Chain A
């Protein structure tokens, strides 16, 4: 048995699924190969979870009746309810913001005076001239006569 074959057999050895003769060969290899022996000890640290038989894991979980309630739970949030609640809250805030923005836009569009761009520019220019010279526009002929 070479090192590759030995390491391939680790999972079956752990689950006691290796035939007796193969098991003996593997034990002999581990006894004489320091690298494989070390690799097996590293493997043994995680094997109780990664390679354990079903019985051990089920025992760790403990007995409890499995309740398949897909109808009742289909509409319920997934595993973590606080995470689901947080997401629902964010979705509600986002939809409220979108609603406010859309309704403001619609209101402004309905109430805005209808005028062309050139009219708007002329009006704004008139208003700025009025702010400079008062309510009456200056009469250029009077100024010259004075």
Chain B
């Protein structure tokens, strides 16, 4: 079966065919969920945000402009939604200190001592690598975290991020720089061995 282009589905959805929008949502769902999971480690929150994104997209479909790709428009909705949620949650640890589980400490040792090939091979298998990365990202300010995810994960450039978030290009650059500094500081601290094992 030939899949219909996004524009055609959008036109149908705007004319009142909600099935067309459902098809559109199903098509873009994996990407939207994946982006939410980069913001939030809790899969329930990520899934709720993904659904909320499609609800907002459906409600605002009439404002969508054809000259932009639908995926990009959707991505702007997701990032703004996740950013608002990060700001709403506010509480974030200033420093990545505290208790680490034994597997997390093992992973930190592996990252410090193994070869790059071994690190890459092990990372996909280890859930703790994922958890620790989220803990590290949680120490960043919401703005910094949003910029890092959009830039590194989504491969967006400064102009695209500024446009999606309604920020100036200078703000995006400053946030990216500060985020990188903070992440490097935290990661190096962990690798030096400032971690404590959870009892």
Q: Point out residues on A near B: beta carbons under 8 Å.
A: 11, 13-14, 16, 26-27, 30, 37-38, 40-42, 44-54, 56-58, 60-62, 64, 66-71, 73-74, 78-80, 83
Q: Is the CB of B133 within 8 A of A30?
A: no
- Among B58, B85, B111, B137, the residue within 8 A (CB) of A74 is B58
How many A-B pairs have beta carbons closer than 8 Å: the answer is 131
Q: Point out residues on B near A: beta carbons under 8 Å.
A: 18, 21-22, 25-26, 29-30, 33-34, 37-38, 41, 43, 45-52, 54-55, 58-59, 85, 88, 111-112, 115-117, 119-120, 123-124, 126-127, 129-130, 132-134, 136-137, 148-149, 152-153, 183-184, 186-188, 190-191
Q: How far is the CA of A37 from the CA of B113 in the complex (A)?
A: 11
- Among B38, B186, B188, the residue within 8 A (CB) of A50 is B38
Main secondary structure of the interface of A (DSSP, over half): helix
Q: Is the CB of B116 within 8 A of A11?
A: no
Q: How far is the CA of A41 from the CA of B112 in the complex (A)?
A: 7
Q: Is the CB of A46 within 8 A of B116?
A: no
Q: Is the CB of A70 within 8 A of B54?
A: yes
Q: How far is the CA of A69 from the CA of B47 in the complex (A)?
A: 13
Residue of A nearest to B148 (CB): A50
Main secondary structure of the interface of B (DSSP, over half): helix
Q: Is the CB of B127 within 8 A of A60?
A: yes
Chain B residues, Cβ within 8 Å of A46: 133, 136-137, 148, 183, 187
Q: How far is the CA of A52 from the CA of B125 in the complex (A)?
A: 11
Q: Write the nearest CB–CB distance from A32 to chain B, whole angstroms.
A: 13
Q: How far is the CA of A51 from the CA of B120 in the complex (A)?
A: 11
- Among B34, B47, B52, B124, the residue within 8 A (CB) of A78 is B52
CB-based closest 3 A-B pairs: A61-B43, A49-B133, A45-B187
Q: Write the nearest CB–CB distance from B91 to chain A, whole angstroms.
A: 14
